Structures are given as C-alpha cells and as structure tokens.
C-alpha cells in the first residue's frame, strides 16, 4: 500500500479536525495520564496508522499513539528539529505495549490554513525558501545520517512485495507500469546522495507558519540526512495536490534554486515513491 503515513490525502483535505472526547482514553499510560487530567481532549487523528489526540491545555499539546517501536525515529528527529529551533518540543516518549509521543504544539497554523491557501504565490515562495534554508542547515550531529539508503531499501522491498500506486501523482511524475518505474529506480538509485537535512515529508500540513514566518516543522519521522530531491518532490507534489493545479511547479523550483535541482533525479524519486 502507498505510504499513507506520509502526507496522505486523508490528512491533507484541510485544517486538522478535532472531535471532543467525553472521557480520557482508558489506555493512556500513567506517566501521561496525570499530565492531561482535567483538560479537554480531542481526537485529531488523520491516519489509520496512528491515533492523535489534541490536549487543550495552555498553548496546546499533541499526543500520538502508534504500534510499539514505530515512533522511536519520530521522537529522535522531533527532538533534533527542536534543538535546531525548527520543531516541536518533545515532552515524553514511552514505548510499552504501544508507543506514545507527547509534544508541545508549535505556535501558528499549518499551511492548509485559509490565510495561506488564499495567497498561493506567496505560499509557494515561502515553502521553497524555507526548504532551501532547511537544506542548508548543519546536519553533522543528526541522529539519522543515511536516510537515503533506508529510503531506497524500502522502495525496493515494497516493489518486490507488489506495492505500486501512481494514482496520487500528477502526470508529469507518473509511470505506466511497475516495471517502468522499477527500471528507472534500479538504474538511477546510485544518483541519490545523503547531503542535506531532510524533513522527509515536506507537505503543507507539516509546515507551521505564524503570520507567514516559520514556527517549525512537524511529523518529521521520515527525516534524516538524505537527498534533497526527496523533499523537493514532495514540495512540488503538495502544491499540485492541494492547490489542484501544477502551475506552481516551475515557480517552486525557481525559488528553491535551479542550481540544486536535477530533473532526472526527481524522476528517480518519483519512481521510488510509487512503491511507497
């Protein structure tokens, strides 16, 4: 199945919905239960892979629950982005029967907010500028130093297990068959390098702005040191998907900087992504 955990259409249809719960979920660990007691709790889940709760206390907190061991990477990368001044503060990570990750809410609104969507040119430029800035961040102390190798290994593994879905990609990135995509991936994968700090899931809901200024990035579990074209691919994709047009593709690449963009590598990334 295509990677719904990352930037799926299920969590990109608009501002994150919050459903008020009548009671605190029974399964909350004791270490977290005392923290949320007395606060209103909302279910803001948007992916079948995880349950997400919004805790209405102070400036707000998010609590994510997923299968055991699945949030370890996200906890590490969220802490790292926070250390760099561009992420959410991790308050608690617990791995027991399930994984639990508690973070402080990042001040501002994600880029699916109406204020930003109503000015697509400025939104496109802001996204491109912030991505280039992220990619120029020192990554020498990053806890995940070769995200590219993991990324390619997953694509190859998913290919061999029959995953192939090009339906969520614009025609300029599409492939007519799994074989066509795999041939491009197999022949070109060595061109991908690990040379920048990646977000890993660079989509509109994962970029938090406060009056057009970057507050931070969220959902960085696919991040690490990797090839810039992975983020560039998703930046182009999210503008196409959410703005319902591919007209901002060239503008995004221009603002990011054509000196760092290789169209052939973007095609290789696209080939990897159709396998999840």
Known catalytic residues are 201
- Cα-Cα-Cα-Cα torsion 2, 73, 91, 44, nearest 10 degrees, comes to 0
Of 125, 123, 107, 126, nearest to 115 by C-alpha is 123
Nearest Cα to 139, choosing from 231, 64, 68, 60?
231
Tell me the C-alpha to C-alpha distance, in Å, between residue 110 and each of 12, 99, 150, 266.
Answer: 11, 25, 28, 25
Query: Distance between terminal CA atoms of the chain?
Result: 7
- 61, two tokens: 């907190």
């Amino acid at each position: 199945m295509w990677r719904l955990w990352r930037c799926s259409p299920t969590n990109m249809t608009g501002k994150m919905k919050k459903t008020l719960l009548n009671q605190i979920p029974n399964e909350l660990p004791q270490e977290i239960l005392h923290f949320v007691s007395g606060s209103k709790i909302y279910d803001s889940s948007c992916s079948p892979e995880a349950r997400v709760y919004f805790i209405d206390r102070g400036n707000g907190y998010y609590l994510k629950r997923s299968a055991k061991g699945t949030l370890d990477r996200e906890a590490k990368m969220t802490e790292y982005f926070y250390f760099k001044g561009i992420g959410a503060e991790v308050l608690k990570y617990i791995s027991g029967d399930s994984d639990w990750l508690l973070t402080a809410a990042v001040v501002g609104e994600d880029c699916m907010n109406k204020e930003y969507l109503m000015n697509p040119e400025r939104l496109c430029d802001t996204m491109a500028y912030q991505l280039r800035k992220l990619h120029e961040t020192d990554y020498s102390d990053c806890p995940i130093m070769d995200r590219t190798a993991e990324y390619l290994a997953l694509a190859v593994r998913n290919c061999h297990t029959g995953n192939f879905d090009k339906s969520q990609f614009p025609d300029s990135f599409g492939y007519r068959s799994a074989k066509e995509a795999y041939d491009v991936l197999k022949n070109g994968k060595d061109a991908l390098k690990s040379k920048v700090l990646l977000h890993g899931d660079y989509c509109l809901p994962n970029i938090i702005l406060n009056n057009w200024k970057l507050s931070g990035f969220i959902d960085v579990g696919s991040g690490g040191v990797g090839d810039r074209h992975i983020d560039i691919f998703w930046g182009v994709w999210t503008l196409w998907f959410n703005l319902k047009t591919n007209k901002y593709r060239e503008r995004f690449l221009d603002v990011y900087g054509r000196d760092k963009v290789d169209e052939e590598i973007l095609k290789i990334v696209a080939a990897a992504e159709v396998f999840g």
